[in-house]
Structure 1
Amino acid sequence: MTTEEGEAVRGWFAGRLPEDLFLELLDVTVDREEITVIGRIPEPELDAAAGEAERDAALDGRIAEFRERTRDARIRVARETERKYDRKVSWGVQCGDRRALYTHVAAPAMTRLRQPERQVLDTLIAAGVARSRSEALAWCVRLVGRNTDEWLADLRASLANVKKVRDQGPDPS
């Protein structure tokens, strides 16, 4: 999906979501299979003397309450969106410093690995980091994503520029 198409999806959600659903629409992420929508919800009010455990439990409770209370509205929007964009919709919230995803697609990604790469995955399994090669590979992808945010952002910007230049070229038909 192009940057322009992603912006159109974000704009559609900004206009389509019920006004009182989120305090703020934080993020709309789009790929080939899924659209993930994350909004900010209000933090629970706590006494200034509340400890860490109380704060954590209050955030968990607020997130669970929001999920249940807004289920029907989110389902209606998701069904419309899935018909319009032919992608599943996943939901998440940011409450204070806690981000929680309710639903999200786990799409298979088939790959062929040589023995040294398989050994990396098998080491992660043996160490108890993962239960399977699939889980170990997902762990590796998350680790790379966390540690190379700037590089991946530059790469995505370059891809957007390549598409722009390609679109300015002659019509292939």
Structure 2
Amino acid sequence: MTRDEYDETREGREQAQGRWRGRGRVGSPGGRGRGGWQVADLPAADDAEDWFRGRLPSAWFSEVEVTVDREEILVVGTLAEEADGAEAEGRISRFRAETRAERIEIAEEAQSRYQRKVSWGARLGASGSLFTHVAAPVMTRLRQPERRVLDTLVDAGVARSRSDALAWSVRLVGEHADEWLGQLREAMAEVDKLRSDGPTV
């Protein structure tokens, strides 16, 4: 295991330990688990980007991008300095090491507020790195025609396994259907809003 891999494992473990404080574990009776988007029992995270912009030290980033899904809040910032190539990679590594303790503290606050794991990344020039991130397993059942698509990708060397082929296919759809996916997310958000405004049973 490399030093970066060890650091990422340790950092993720430390953040996860803080995740269960306060409201209870996600998915447990004391927490706010979520089985599907139609089960609206996770706290809303519409204001997550604003919260992080207000909570992060102003000296860290010149720009911040916050992406949210059901399991994770990914915070990727552009470092407020200039560098390229190996120098940029070195400065990203230094930033990661120097800010680890404070990022864990901020992540624990956000995880208590939003009941999602917080992951971090940084960019500088053309370089970028994700420090910690969630690779959430997704179970699915496929019929033979769909399995054959995955097997073709594996046999052609595009993917190492069916799971890799499925992940590759999802990335491909995401790259070529951004507008449609954006409209779908907006429609889902409107449904969630209407549900939250409705009467409580």
What interval of TM-score do these two structures reach, taking the shorter chain for normalisation?
0.7 to 0.9
2:70 aligns to what?
32
- 2:174 equivalent to 1:145: yes
Q: Extract unaligned runs of 5+ from structure 1.
A: 46-54
Give 1:38 shift.
1.2
Give the counterpart of 2:146 among 101, 117, 122: 117
TM-score, scaled relative to structure 2: 0.70
The structural deviation recorded for 1:59 is: 2.8
Counterpart secondary structure, 1:145: helix
Question: Post-superposition shift, 1:69?
Answer: 2.0
Superposition deviation, residue 141 in structure 1:
0.5
Kindly provide the CA deviation profile for residues 110-135 of structure 1, in whole angstroms up to 9, marking residues without a partner as x: 00001111111112212222222111
Give the alignment's Cα RMSD to 1 decimal: 2.3
Q: How is 1:1-173 mapped onto 2 (pairs within 5 angstroms)? A: 5-25=44-64, 27-45=65-83, 55-167=84-196, 171=199, 173=201
- The superposition leaves residues 45-104 of structure 1 with CA deviations (integer Å, 9 ceiling, x where unpaired) of 4xxxxxxxxx43233223222222221211111122223322111011222244432211
Aligned residues: 161
Distance 1:43 1:124 in 2: 42
Query: How much identity, in percent, do the aligned residues show?
Result: 55
**Is the 1:44–1:58 Cα contact (8 Å) retained in structure 2?**
no
Bigger-Rg structure (1/2): 1
- Kindly state the Cα deviation for residue 43 of structure 1 after the two structures are TM-superposed: 4.7
Q: CA–CA distance in 2 between the matches of 1:118 and 1:42?
A: 46
Range that drifts further, 100-109 or 8-17: 8-17
Q: Is the 8 A contact 1:44 1:62 kept in 2?
A: no
Q: Structure 1-normalised TM-score?
A: 0.80
In the TM superposition, residue 156 of structure 1 has moved relative to its aligned partner by: 1.3
Distance 1:83 1:166 in 2: 23
Change (3 A) 1:120 1:28: same
Native 8 Å contact 2:59 2:80 kept in 1: no
State how far apart, in whole Å, the 1-side matches of 2:197 and 2:71 are: 28
